[in-house]
Amino acid sequence: MSWKTWKGKPLDQGLNDVLERDITKELSNGNAIKLCVGTDSQVKNGTITYATVVVILRFKKGGFMYIRKTTGHSNITLKHRMIEEVGKSVAVAYEVSPIVKKYKVPMEVHADINANPQFLSHVALKEAMGYIVGMGFVFKAKPDAFASSSCADKFV
């Protein structure tokens, strides 16, 4: 599946080209920005739908995002699904990292995993954190992981 705007319009270029255009525009407008990548998923009718988002956040001025939806089989455990979400986010973060580094834009990878052990998703917290941090990215979990738990959540 291809990347789209939050309104559903397919991107006119590849994600890296669009991000470079957007980052240079935001920086030239004097905006302080950061990039946040996150994925959420939902199981329905035997299929898992994943939504991965790349959010460009303008400090105190809102932001915008791009979305890619994919599907998978639902015969996996919750922990496996959480790690699949993280894997999709890390893959995108890795893909866009040359652009982010070129313009010195901070980037975070958000996991839709709760830091509170009372929640089921907590079972994947240590592995997710190790995966994301081990790949060299800044890790955020709920309640600070808005890219996955709020933005991507709207598209699954």
CA distance 24 to 31: 10
Going from the first residue of the chain to its last (156 residues), give the mean pLDDT of each consecutive group of 10, the final group possibly shorter.
Answer: 91 96 98 97 93 97 96 89 96 98 98 90 92 96 92 86
pLDDT of residue 71: 94
Q: What are the E-state strand segments in 74-133? A: 107-114
In sequence order, which residues have a C-beta less than 8 Å from that of residue 13 and are 6 or more positions away?
21
pLDDT of 81 reads 93
Task: Say how many C-beta atoms besides its own lie within 10 A of residue 137's C-beta.
Answer: 19
Backbone angles phi, psi at 56, to 5 degrees: -100, 110
For residue 17, the one-letter residue type is: D
Alpha-carbon gap, residue 73 to 119, rounded angstroms: 23
pLDDT of residue 23: 98
Provide the pLDDT for residue 1. 64
Distance CA 44, CA 141 (A): 24
Q: Backbone phi, then psi, for 27, in 5-degree steps? A: -65, -40
CATH number, residue 19: 3.30.420
Q: List Cα–Cα distances, 2 to 6, 13, 51, 127, 128, in angstroms.
A: 13, 10, 11, 28, 25
Closest CA to 145 of 113, 118, 117: 113
Provide the domain count of the chain.
1
Instruction: Supply the pLDDT for residue 85.
Output: 96
Q: What is the pLDDT of residue 147?
A: 94
Structural domain boundaries, residue 72: 4-155
d(CA 140, CA 107): 11
* pLDDT at residue 5, as a whole number: 96
Whole-model pTM? 0.93
Contact 65, 54 (CB under 8 A): yes
Q: How many other CB atoms are there within 10 angstroms of residue 34's CB atom? A: 16
Q: What is the pLDDT of residue 22?
A: 98
Q: What is the pLDDT of residue 153?
A: 86
